[in-house]
């Protein structure tokens, strides 16, 4: 049985020029089918390629938004950190005010003495760890790495990093906590203000400022004496400053002593009432006399190096019923 064929004839505009092709019917049909299938595949590939281009543009937009959100989170987190620090400072300020204006002096002495246990490291900080007891830096870094591994970004699906979502959740919790704490702080400060308005005389007589502009070089507590080499109780704060720097009274009171002491050098002592007295030692000059009434902030002497001192500084003490108390508990603003 003869195969069916199809003849294609092409006639040119030029005379006598013709071309003829003869193909089988089956081959022509197969070619048409393959052409249709190929066209469909090409169209599908084109559509898929266009989709990838669109997805790539979307991913680029999402990456840009993710970067912006990270920067915004970082900015908000930084501002929130400042707010939390200020609120903590306010809390500490209010706590000190409550303690130093407590009417029960015995209870106040107990609280203030317990709030700062004498130690040889007070001049450096309450969280000081001796060098020989510190863990190796490599161990600290290895332990810290467990908490700072970042999960990979799922950019293809247009999602933020899971760490970003965690940071957002933490940020929301911190904001909620800050709002709640701010309400409590406001109520506490209002109550404190009402109480303090009824105790103006006590407040004026309570030490609350740093007596001289300088640097804390030694804190309240036990330390090795530079003279005897033995552990002795340092009963106040040492504030280093340039010779001649003004020394100011930390509260209203009456001068009860001015003179020279072998240990304190030129010394000024002020009685503030309510069992509270302050001492200012190692002065180069004294500008007040016994019996003189003093207001908070008045210049009473000048920083010096008299007595048993290793350099120019003011030795500042606060005593409650003759018992030495950590003066830092009475410094509201440093």
- Is 182 in the same domain as 241? no
CA distance 324 to 118: 11
What digits encode the pLDDT tens for the residues 224-239?
A: 766 666 777 788 899 9
- What secondary structure letter does DSSP report for 333? B
| pLDDT recorded at residue 15 | 67
Domain end call among 183, 204, 225? 204
Highest mean pLDDT among 32-36, 218-222, 298-302, 321-325: 298-302
Q: pLDDT averaged over the chain?
A: 76
What digits encode the pLDDT tens for the residues 67-78?
A: 887 777 777 777
| pLDDT recorded at residue 297 | 93
Domain tally, the chain: 3
Residue 210 within a domain: no
With cut-offs at 50, 70 and 90, classify the pLDDT of residue 17: confident
Q: What is the pTM of this model?
A: 0.46
Spatial contact of 208 and 100, defined as CB atoms under 8 Å apart: yes
State residue 294 phi and psi, 5-degree precision: -125, 145
Residue 180 within a domain: yes
- Is 271 in the same domain as 164? no
Give the range of the structural domain holding residue 33, as residue numbers without chain letter: 5-60
Find where tokens 């209203």 sit: 252
Handedness of CA 204, 205, 207, 212 (dihedral sign): positive
| pLDDT recorded at residue 131 | 47
- Is 56 in the same domain as 71? no
With cut-offs at 50, 70 and 90, classify the pLDDT of residue 114: very low
What digits encode the pLDDT tens for the residues 53-67?
A: 888 888 888 888 888
| pLDDT recorded at residue 300 | 95
Who has greater pLDDT, 92 or 275?
275
What's 225's domain CATH number? 2.70.70.10
Residue 104 within a domain: yes
Spatial contact of 268 and 258, defined as CB atoms under 8 Å apart: yes
Residue 101 within a domain: yes
Nearby residues of 308 by Cβ (< 8 Å), 6 or more positions away: 227, 262, 263, 265
State residue 188 phi and psi, 5-degree precision: -65, -45
- Is 103 in the same domain as 229? no
Residue 26 within a domain: yes
Radius of gyration of the chain (CA): 41
- Is 153 in the same domain as 237? no
| pLDDT recorded at residue 334 | 61
What digits encode the pLDDT tens for the residues 138-158?
A: 554 555 444 444 444 444 444
With cut-offs at 50, 70 and 90, classify the pLDDT of residue 272: very high
Domain end call among 142, 175, 204? 204
What digits encode the pLDDT tens for the residues 166-221?
A: 566 777 777 777 777 776 666 766 666 666 665 777 778 889 899 999 888 888 87
Which segments of the chain does DSSP mark as H helices, in order? 25-100, 105-114, 137-145, 162-197, 200-204
- Is 27 in the same domain as 86? no
* Complete DSSP assignment for 220-285: SEEEE-TTT-SEEEE-SEEEE--TT-EEE-SSSEEEEEEEEETTTEEEEEEEEETTEEEEEEEEEE
- Is 111 in the same domain as 200? yes
CA distance 106 to 99: 11
Spatial contact of 271 and 290, defined as CB atoms under 8 Å apart: no
CA distance 135 to 265: 43
State residue 142 phi and psi, 5-degree precision: -65, -40
With cut-offs at 50, 70 and 90, classify the pLDDT of residue 269: very high
Residue 209 within a domain: no
- Is 85 in the same domain as 169? yes
Domain end call among 14, 30, 60? 60
Residue 22 within a domain: yes
- Is 96 in the same domain as 173? yes
- Is 125 in the same domain as 224? no
Angle at the Cα of 290 from the Cα atoms of 284 and 295, rounded to 5 degrees:
85
If one counts every other C-beta atom within 10 angstroms of the C-beta of residue 234, the result is 22
Distances in Å between the Cα of 223 and the Cα atoms of 213, 230, 310 are 24, 8, 15
- Is 279 in the same domain as 164? no
- Is 134 in the same domain as 229? no
């Amino acid at each position: 049985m003869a195969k069916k064929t199809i003849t294609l004839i092409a006639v040119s505009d030029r005379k006598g020029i013709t071309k003829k092709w003869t193909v089988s019917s089956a081959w022509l049909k197969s070619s048409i089918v393959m052409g249709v299938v190929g066209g469909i595949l090409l169209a599908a590939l084109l559509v898929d390629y266009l989709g990838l281009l669109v997805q790539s543009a979307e991913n680029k937009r999402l990456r840009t938004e993710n970067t912006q959100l990270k920067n915004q989170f970082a900015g908000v987190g930084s501002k929130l950190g400042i707010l939390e620090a200020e609120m903590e400072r306010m809390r500490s300020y209010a706590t000190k005010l409550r303690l130093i204006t407590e009417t029960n002096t015995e209870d106040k002495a107990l609280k203030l003495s317990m709030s700062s246990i004498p130690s040889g490291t007070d001049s450096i900080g309450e969280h000081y760890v001796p060098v020989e007891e510190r863990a190796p830096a490599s161990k600290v870094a290895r332990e810290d790495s467990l908490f700072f591994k970042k999960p990979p970004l799922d950019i293809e699906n247009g999602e933020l990093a899971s760490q970003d979502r965690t940071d957002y959740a933490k940020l929301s919790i911190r904001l909620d906590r800050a709002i709640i704490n701010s309400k409590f702080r406001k109520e506490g400060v209002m109550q404190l203000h009402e109480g303090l308005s009824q105790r103006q005389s006590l407040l004026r007589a309570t030490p609350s400022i740093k007596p001289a502009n300088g640097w804390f070089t030694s804190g309240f507590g036990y330390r090795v004496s530079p003279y005897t080499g033995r552990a002795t109780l340092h009963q106040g704060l040492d504030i280093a400053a340039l010779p001649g720097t003004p020394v100011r009274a930390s509260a209203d009171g009456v001068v009860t002593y001015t003179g020279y002491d072998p240990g304190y050098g030129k010394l000024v002592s002020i009685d503030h009432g309510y069992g509270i007295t302050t001492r200012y030692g190692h002065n180069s000059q004294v500008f007040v006399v016994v019996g003189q009434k003093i207001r908070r902030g008045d210049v009473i002497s000048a920083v010096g190096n008299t007595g048993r001192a290793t350099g120019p500084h003011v030795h500042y003490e606060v005593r409650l019923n003759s018992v030495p108390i950590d003066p830092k508990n009475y410094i509201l603003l440093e």
